[in-house]
Amino acid sequence: MPETILVCGAGGFIGGHFVRRLLAEGRGNVRAVDCKPLEQWYLRHPEAQSVQSNLRTFDTCQNAVRGATVVYNFAADMGGMGYIESHKADCMLNVLINTHLLVAAREARVRRFFFASSACVYAADKQATTAIMPLKESDAYPAMPEDGYGWEKLFGERMCRHFREDFGLETRIARYHNVYGTHETYHGGREKAPAAICRKVAQAKISGVHEIEIWGDGEQTRSFTYIDDCLHGSELVMDGSYADPVNVGSSEMVSINQLVSLVEDIAGVKLRRRYKLDAPRGVRGRNSDNTLIQMLYGWQPSTALATGLATLYPWVYDRVSRLG
Q: Are 178 and 192 in contact (CB under 8 A)?
A: yes
Residue 131 confidence (pLDDT): 80
pLDDT, one tens digit per residue, over 297-315 is 999 999 999 999 999 999 9
| pLDDT over 70 percentage in the chain | 99
Neighbours of 152 (CB within 10 A): 29
Percentage helix, strand, coil for the chain under 3-state DSSP, each rounded to 5: 45, 20, 40
Q: Are 182 and 311 in contact (CB under 8 A)?
A: yes
| pLDDT over 90 percentage in the chain | 90
Residue 293 confidence (pLDDT): 98
What is the pTM (predicted TM-score) of this model?
A: 0.95
pLDDT, average across residues 189-196: 94
Neighbours of 131 (CB within 10 A): 9
Annotated catalytic residues are 149
Q: Return the minimum-mean-pLDDT range out of 31-35, 129-133, 172-176.
A: 129-133
- Cα distance between residue 74 and residue 12, in whole Å: 8
One-letter amino acid identity for 165? E
**pLDDT over threshold 80, residue 220:** yes
DSSP string of 242-300, one letter each residue:
--S-EEE----EEEHHHHHHHHHHHHT---EEEEETTS----SB--B--HHHHHHHS--
Q: Which residues contact 249 (CB under 8 A, 6 or more apart)?
A: 119, 175, 176, 177, 178, 223, 225, 287, 288, 290, 301
pLDDT, average across residues 265-288: 93
**The dihedral of CA 148, 150, 156, 158: what is its sign?**
negative
Q: How many CA atoms lie within 13 A of 273 on its CB side?
A: 17
**The dihedral of CA 18, 24, 30, 35: what is its sign?**
positive
Q: How many CA atoms lie within 13 A of 268 on its CB side?
A: 3
Residue 324 confidence (pLDDT): 65
Q: How far is CA 188 from each of CA 185, 191, 224, 227, rounded to the nearest angstrom?
A: 8, 7, 21, 21
- Cα distance between residue 244 and residue 242, in whole Å: 6
**pLDDT over threshold 80, residue 266:** yes
Phi and psi dihedrals of 269, rounded to 5? Answer: -145, 155
Q: How many CA atoms lie within 13 A of 123 on its CB side?
A: 11
Helix (H, G, I), strand (E, B) or coil at 121: helix
pLDDT, average across residues 95-113: 98
pLDDT, average across residues 72-80: 94
List the Cα angle 164/299/134 in 5-degree steps.
Answer: 80
Q: Are 174 and 231 in contact (CB under 8 A)?
A: no
pLDDT, average across residues 89-95: 96
pLDDT, average across residues 253-261: 97
pLDDT, average across residues 122-132: 88
pLDDT, average across residues 218-223: 94
Q: Identify the structural domains of the chain with CATH numbers, from first to last.
A: 4-178+227-248 (3.40.50.720), 180-223+252-290+304-323 (3.90.25.10)
Phi and psi dihedrals of 248, rounded to 5? Answer: -125, 90
Residue 80 confidence (pLDDT): 87
**pLDDT over threshold 90, residue 281:** no
- Cα distance between residue 193 and residue 286, in whole Å: 13
**pLDDT over threshold 70, residue 175:** yes
pLDDT tier for residue 235 given thresholds of 50, 70 and 90: very high
- Cα distance between residue 200 and residue 206, in whole Å: 10
Nearest CA to 224 among 191, 268, 264, 181? 181
**pLDDT over threshold 70, residue 89:** yes
